[in-house]
Amino acid sequence: MSRASISKVLIPGLILCALVFLLGKDMAKSRTIADLEADLDTLETRVLTHRAEVSMLKEVTDLLQARGIAIVDEMGRTRILLSAVENNTSLSLYDEHGKTRAVLAETPAGSTLSLLDNFQRPSLELQVGPEGSPRVLLKDETGRNRIILGLRDLKEAAIGVTRSTPPALAMYDAEGRARGIFKMIESGQVKLIIVGQDGARRATLMESDSGRGVHLVLKSGDSAATADLSVHGDGKAQLLFTDAKENRRVELLQHADGLARLRVQDANGRIEGILGAGEEGAVIGLNDDQARPRVRMRYQTETDSVRISITGKDGKTLWDAP
């Protein structure tokens, strides 16, 4: 039976019972007609109030308002809990043992979906920050992040500027230290970074020349020697070794036209030896601490000849043969 039907039956009945009660009191105490009229007015006011309350209930029948809602199974165990506390809203799912297995939460810091293991430890999290930057977090049994995949936050988001945000993937060790990072920079080129246990960058591999080349940097520490290998889009390849002070010590260069060159320098970048070879011939050279050529030995392919020259500090030729 609907609420309207109940009201139609209930209200007249209440009026009839009230009249009988009042008449009975009137007969027992010989109340006056004025008293009966006053009681009738009071009863009519209550009936009108009841009708208004019933009408209001009918208007909000489709809306259920509460601070929390719990859904239980046939054993009375809570399986779903929806709650709203201050600025935090959450939806929690529980297994048959009462353990939390999933939580969907919305807070001022963003929205999060957490999936928990048998020990109620978060294993997987999906996050969306207040700026709209999404992230996926994979955690170990201690709760530490081991893998993070997401889009980097942009300061422009706070002032309404929108643009494509490059993705990044970070991997962490058991101590929570970032060890591997694979990301795309804003120019669209990809970059791979390997980090040591001490937090120092060990290797960096990235695209160059608008994606037409590749660049690899190897280091044993922040202040240690470095090996730098790059292949350019024009076909040139270069291998460079630097010392702890970032001074170039050895450079091996291959040009696109086939010319190859090896250059060796001292710690001050002055004394150097040069070995070069190409289609026209080969050359070996030694320079002094002022970068002045002192010894040159050349082989010319076309004439099949060798030439050796020695120069003094003043630039004058000391010996030249043949």
Tell me: pLDDT of 20 over 70.
no
This prediction has a pTM of: 0.64
For residues 68-87, give the mean pLDDT: 91
To the nearest whole number, what is the mean pLDDT of the chain?
Answer: 81
CA distances from 22 to 16, 19, 36, 47 (A): 10, 5, 7, 16
For residues 16-34, give the mean pLDDT: 54
Tell me: pLDDT of 131 over 90.
no
For residues 230-243, give the mean pLDDT: 90
For 132-171, write each residue's pLDDT tens digit: 788 999 999 988 999 999 885 444 444 444 445 678 899 9
Among 15-24, 43-52, 259-268, which range has the highest average pLDDT?
Answer: 259-268
Point out the least confidently predicted range of 46-55, 283-292, 298-307. Answer: 46-55
- The CA distance from 110 to 127, in Å, is 7
Nearest to 273 by CA among 298, 258, 251, 247: 251
**CB-based contacts of 106, cutoff 8 Å, min separation 6:** 88, 89, 90
For residues 95-118, give the mean pLDDT: 94
Is-contact 92 79, C-beta < 8 A?
no
Is-contact 154 131, C-beta < 8 A?
yes
